[in-house]
């Protein structure tokens, strides 16, 4: 006799044989009715409202082996507003890697252009069992595709009619994965809302690293907090990780909280792996378990939270906890992940008692917390504070001459550092730079007088002052159409005025070029054909001034005057100008 479970239930078998229907379209009106998956074509089963379960066989029915070369399928429709649950009644016996059982969350067997079955809940080529599966609506399709070689006793599936419950999600940053629409064409979420009790509901956190998911409360209709866990690569490996919970026999509300990291004040250790990049403007914040500040944590939780402080800071973790002794615990590690040095292994001294553990300090700027709960008792859990502690780093001076420099020998990360430079007589500060030990340039800002400031980074710094002569010569070149004149020398940083003089009324000033002795162009302002005076800032170098004149005194020759947005432009038009 086929199918192991019938050996013990002969009378049940007789009842099933009497009520089994093998027609291509069947309306089932009695519990325990047996229906075959056809070897070819499509059969349809409609389940009456008074029926709670049926059995599904391969085409061999309850007693015979299945046939070779089959590809037909069975379409099952539940009563309106209901869903279907399918599970093996006993272990399947099929030809491994040859014969394929497919179950779809759909009325029809449909594939995309590349051959992937749409809404696939199961595709197995192995004997044995599988976990219960749930449709999200009234339809289910079951196909058993066999090759042309060995046949076996096949399978018995129990298909039950189940109720649907609603998931209410309160954030547009989080979505409910479409549990079965995973294929080569489309991967994503459809924000499904209705699930059967026992179904796995997968939430997708689409916010990225900021805003950060700081809290997630999943509650049943009675307000009880439901456990969830992180699931890697849902479905066939598409779509990324998800946070998954089991649907209870009630409606569910999902309330995620997202927080901008710059406004971080607290974060819950959710049952997942997460990294929190702490901004430099945050000095401390609270850390709770997944129950938050006011509710107990849930069972069967593995929560990993890596705290990544800015470079140059250490992390102090302090606070208290109320847990089940030993079974529920908090471990603290140096660095990212749990492979670094274990800094602390914390749990309540006795179950349910308050444990103040003092302070745990990191050696670097990264610390990982691991909070684990088992399947038994739950308590108020973690009440922690993470504080950033700025570290001190050295400040050194590179070699220099022709002046003196004073600066602190060390400073804490994030603090403001002042540099005072005093040049010798006849010299000035040409430049002031700061570089970290890793070679990164630090922004240095000129303050009043001979002072500069910078913000201390999270590593050692070397400052380099450069003193140079403070006065340099200016050489003027006579050009075709005129000449330029001004002072013969100036101190670096001073404003120098240049006057251009056309040789006669046939020429106008077109441009003034100032070039340093290092062959660098110096910016010149206020070069106008109707105003012969221009200025430039004297560099730390001798310069050459060369005027450029034009005898094309027309608009086509480049003469123009810009209308100002506000104020007045006074222009003295030289004789000989024809147009502008």
Check residue 207 and give its pLDDT: 59
**Tokens 């471990």 appear where?**
331
DSSP bridge partners of 303: 371
Check residue 10 and give its pLDDT: 33
User: Domain 265-390, what fold?
Assistant: Jelly Rolls (2.60.120)
Check residue 18 and give its pLDDT: 35
- Quick: pLDDT tens for 46-58: 999 999 999 999 9
Check residue 167 and give its pLDDT: 95
Neighbours of 560 (CB within 10 A): 8
Check residue 233 and give its pLDDT: 55
What residue segments make up the domains of the chain, in order of their start?
4-163, 265-390, 392-469, 471-550
Check residue 13 and give its pLDDT: 37
- Secondary structure (DSSP) of 106-120: SSS--B-TTSPBTTE
**How far is Cα of residue 120 from the mean position of the Cα atoms in its chain?**
29
3-state secondary structure labels for all residues of 223-265: CCECCCEEECCCCCCCCCCEEEEECCCCCEEEEEEEECHHHCC
Distance between CA atoms of 2 and 203, rounded to whole angstroms?
42
Check residue 208 and give its pLDDT: 60
Distance between CA atoms of 233 and 240, rounded to whole angstroms?
5
Same fold, 265-390 and 392-469: no
Q: Which CATH number fits domain 392-469: 2.30.30, 2.60.40, 1.10.287, 1.20.120?
A: 2.60.40
Residues 6+ apart with CB under 8 A from 2: 60, 61, 62, 63, 64, 65, 153, 154
Check residue 188 and give its pLDDT: 52
- Quick: pLDDT tens for 263-316: 999 999 999 999 999 999 999 999 999 999 999 999 999 999 999 999 999 999
Neighbours of 119 (CB within 10 A): 24
CA dihedral 501, 506, 511, 514 (to 10 degrees): -40
Check residue 209 and give its pLDDT: 62
Residue 318 CA: distances (Å) to CA of 96, 260, 324, 357, 358 = 56, 23, 19, 7, 5
440-446 contacts: CB < 8 A, separation 24 or more?
444/419
Check residue 2 and give its pLDDT: 54
- pTM for the whole structure: 0.78
Instruction: Give the pair of three-digit tokens for residue 57.
Output: 């066989």
The answer to whether 121 and 113 have CB atoms below 8 angstroms apart is no
Check residue 450 and give its pLDDT: 92
- DSSP class of residue 5? G
Tens of pLDDT along the chain (580 residues) come to 455 544 333 333 333 333 344 446 889 999 999 999 999 999 999 999 999 999 999 999 999 999 999 999 999 999 999 999 999 999 999 999 999 999 999 999 988 777 788 888 899 999 999 999 999 999 999 999 999 889 999 999 999 999 999 999 988 888 887 777 544 334 455 567 899 999 999 888 865 667 899 999 999 999 999 999 988 654 444 445 689 999 999 999 999 999 999 999 999 999 999 999 999 999 999 999 999 999 999 999 999 999 999 999 999 999 999 999 999 999 999 999 999 999 999 999 999 999 999 999 999 999 999 999 999 999 999 999 999 999 999 999 999 999 999 999 999 999 999 999 999 999 999 999 999 999 999 999 999 889 999 999 999 999 999 999 999 999 999 999 999 999 999 999 999 999 999 999 888 888 999 999 999 999 999 888 788 899 999 999 999 999 998 888 887 777 777 787 888 877 778 777 777 7
- DSSP class of residue 19? H
The answer to whether 215 and 268 have CB atoms below 8 angstroms apart is yes
DSSP bridge partners of 163: 82
Distance between CA atoms of 124 and 101, rounded to whole angstroms?
5
Residue 290, sorted as left (phi over 0), alpha (psi -120 to 50) or beta, turns out to be alpha
- Give the residue from 36, 208, 35, 185 showing the smallest Cα distance to 118: 185
Distance between CA atoms of 549 and 533, rounded to whole angstroms?
14
3-state secondary structure labels for all residues of 342-409: EEEEECCCCCCCEEEEEEEECCCCEEEEEEECCCCCCCCEEEEEEEEEECEEEEEECCCCCEEEECCC
Residues 6+ apart with CB under 8 A from 374: 299, 300, 324, 327, 328
Instruction: Give the pair of three-digit tokens for residue 301.
Output: 């939780």
- Quick: pLDDT tens for 452-461: 999 999 999 9
| Burial class of residue 449, CB neighbours in 10 A (0-12, 13-18, 19+) | exposed
Check residue 12 and give its pLDDT: 36
DSSP bridge partners of 470: none
Share of the chain above pLDDT 70, in %: 92
**Tokens 């599970």 appear where?**
87
Domain at 4-163: CATH architecture: Sandwich (2.60)
The answer to whether 491 and 470 have CB atoms below 8 angstroms apart is yes
């Amino acid at each position: 006799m086929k199918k192991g479970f019938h050996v013990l239930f002969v009378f049940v078998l007789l009842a099933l044989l009497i009520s089994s229907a093998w027609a291509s379209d069947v309306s089932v009106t009695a519990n325990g009715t047996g229906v075959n998956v056809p070897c070819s074509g499509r059969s349809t089963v409609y389940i009456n409202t008074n029926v709670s379960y049926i059995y599904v066989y391969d085409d061999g029915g309850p007693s015979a082996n299945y046939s070779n070369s089959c590809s037909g399928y069975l379409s099952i429709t539940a009563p309106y507003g209901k869903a279907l649950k399918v599970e093996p009644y006993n272990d399947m016996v099929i030809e491994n890697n040859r014969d394929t059982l497919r179950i779809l969350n759909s009325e029809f067997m449909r594939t995309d252009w590349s051959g992937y079955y749409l809404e696939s809940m199961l595709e197995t080529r192995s004997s044995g069992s599988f976990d219960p599966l749930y449709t999200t609506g009234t339809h289910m399709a079951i196909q058993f595709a066999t090759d042309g070689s060995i046949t076996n006793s096949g399978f018995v599936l129990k298909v039950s009619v189940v109720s649907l419950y609603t998931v209410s999600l309160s954030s547009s940053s989080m979505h409910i994965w479409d549990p079965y629409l995973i294929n080569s064409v489309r991967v994503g979420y459809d924000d499904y809302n209705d699930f059967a009790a026992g179904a796995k509901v997968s939430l997708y956190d689409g916010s990225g690293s900021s805003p950060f998911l700081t809290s997630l409360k999943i509650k049943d209709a009675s307000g009880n907090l439901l456990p969830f866990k992180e699931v890697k690569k849902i479905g066939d490996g598409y779509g990324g990780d998800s946070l998954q919970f089991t649907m209870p026999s009630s409606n569910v509300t999902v309330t995620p909280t997202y927080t901008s990291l710059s406004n971080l004040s607290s974060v819950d250790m959710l049952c997942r792996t997460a990294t929190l990049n702490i901004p430099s403007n945050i000095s401390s914040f609270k850390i709770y378990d997944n129950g938050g500040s006011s509710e107990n944590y849930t069972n069967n939780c593995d929560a990993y939270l890596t705290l990544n402080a800015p470079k140059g800071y250490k992390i102090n973790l302090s606070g208290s906890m109320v847990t089940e002794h030993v079974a529920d615990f908090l471990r603290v590690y140096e660095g990212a992940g749990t492979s670094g040095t274990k800094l602390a292994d914390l749990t309540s001294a006795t179950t349910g008692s308050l444990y103040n553990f003092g302070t745990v300090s990191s050696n670097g700027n990264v610390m990982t917390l691991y909070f684990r709960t088992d399947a038994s008792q739950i308590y108020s859990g973690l009440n922690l504070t993470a504080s950033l502690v700025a570290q001190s780093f050295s400040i050194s001076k590179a070699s220099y001459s022709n002046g003196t420099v004073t600066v602190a020998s060390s400073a804490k990360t994030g603090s403001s550092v002042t540099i005072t430079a005093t040049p010798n007589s006849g010299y000035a500060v040409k430049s002031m730079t700061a570089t970290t030990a890793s070679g990164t340039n630090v922004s240095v800002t000129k303050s009043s007088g001979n002072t500069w400031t910078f913000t201390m980074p999270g590593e050692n710094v070397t400052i380099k002052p450069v003193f140079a002569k403070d006065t340099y010569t200016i050489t003027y070149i006579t050009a075709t159409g005129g000449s330029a004149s001004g002072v013969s020398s100036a101190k670096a940083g001073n404003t120098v005025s240049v006057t251009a003089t056309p040789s006669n009324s046939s020429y106008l000033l077109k441009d003034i070029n100032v070039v340093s002795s290092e062959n660098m162009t110096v910016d010149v302002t206020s070069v106008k054909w109707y105003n012969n005076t221009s200025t430039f800032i004297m560099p730390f170098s001798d310069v050459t001034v060369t005027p450029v004149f034009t005898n094309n005194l027309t608009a086509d020759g480049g003469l123009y005057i810009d209308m100002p947005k506000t104020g007045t432009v006074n222009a003295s038009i030289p004789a000989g100008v024809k147009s502008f």
